[in-house]
Amino acid sequence: MTAQIQREPLTRSAEDYLKAIYHLTDGGRSASTNELAQALDLAPASVSGMLRRLAEQGLVEHEPYRGVTLAPEGRRVALRMLRRHRLIEAYLVANLGYSWDTVHEEAERLEHAVSDTLVERMAKVLGNPMEDPHGDPIPGPDGSLAELVYVPLAEVAPGQEAEIRRVNTSQPDRLRYIGTAGLTPGTRVQVLAHEPFQGPIRLRVGDREQIIGHELAGMLWCTKREK
């Protein structure tokens, strides 16, 4: 019979590590200690110590010099935290008057404190949404997560129409700019022109034209639309 791994109750720090590893390894690759240290704003030596503890608990698979990935139980915890975070963001925007550029830090604090019962009541009040205010998919209560295939607006060819579905940034200043420019999820645009060498991109948004930088366009993930 396989021995059961005895796990200590997870700390807020451990939950943050698992969620950060999930983001860094999305797509199937491993994450390096330095990448994780940068994402969490910690010293690499501190990260190495925590990774050893998480590996001992069966939450991550860590090979020195090869990086870290989530073990099945670690992935389950990470998706649980993502569900909490994204539902809290959706609830704060829909019911408490928060703007989409102010909810990330609030959700970072609350996701560790709320109970599963409260999270599921939030989900019910919201009508069990599939996406948060930024278009990020919300994992189901069973840990399932929809596989969404989007294209960065920077890769949409001139003349092509697209619908913005997801904004891939949590930085408040960028979210405020995107919101002011009217480029939120659900907005339909037509790419008019790309300047060369990753220059600005000219769009038609409704009955007006809008020029945005190539880097910003890479954060706007879209589905292409037939004319």
Q: How confident is the model at residue 1 (pLDDT cuts 50, 70, 90)?
A: very low
Residue pLDDT, tens place only, 78-91: 999 999 999 999 99
Kindly state the helix (H) or strand (E) to which residue 25 belongs, with its residue range. helix 12-25
- Token pair of 111, please? 């996701």
**The domain over range 151-225 is classified in CATH as 2.30.30.90:** yes
Kindly state the helix (H) or strand (E) to which residue 222 belongs, with its residue range. strand 220-225
Given a contact cutoff of 8 angstroms between Cβ atoms, the answer to whether 143 and 80 are in contact is yes
Asked whether the predicted pLDDT for residue 170 surpasses 70, the reply is: yes
Q: What percent of the chain has pLDDT over 90?
A: 88
Give the start-end residues of each E strand in 16-153: 60-63, 67-70, 151-152
Residue 45 exposed, middle or buried by CB count within 10 Å (0-12, 13-18, 19+): exposed
For the four alpha carbons of 38, 42, 44 and 50, in that order, the dihedral sign comes to negative
Specify the CATH number of the domain 12-70: 1.10.10.10
The angle subtended at Cα 56 by Cα 12 and Cα 32, nearest 5°, is: 75
Strands laid side by side in the 208-212 sheet: 151-152, 220-225, 161-167, 188-194, 201-205, 208-212
- Supply the DSSP symbol for 155: G
Domain boundaries, the chain: 12-70, 151-225
Instruction: Say which range, 3-7, 17-21, 57-61, 75-79, has the weakest mean pLDDT.
Output: 3-7
Q: How confident is the model at residue 8 (pLDDT cuts 50, 70, 90)?
A: low
The angle subtended at Cα 144 by Cα 139 and Cα 150, nearest 5°, is: 70
Instruction: Say which range, 65-69, 171-175, 181-185, 210-214, has the weakest mean pLDDT.
Output: 65-69
Average pLDDT for 160-187: 96
Average pLDDT for 53-71: 92
Question: Nearest-CA neighbor of 111 among 141, 95, 89?
Answer: 89
Put simply, whether the predicted model's pTM sits higher than 0.75 gets the answer yes
Average pLDDT for 5-24: 86
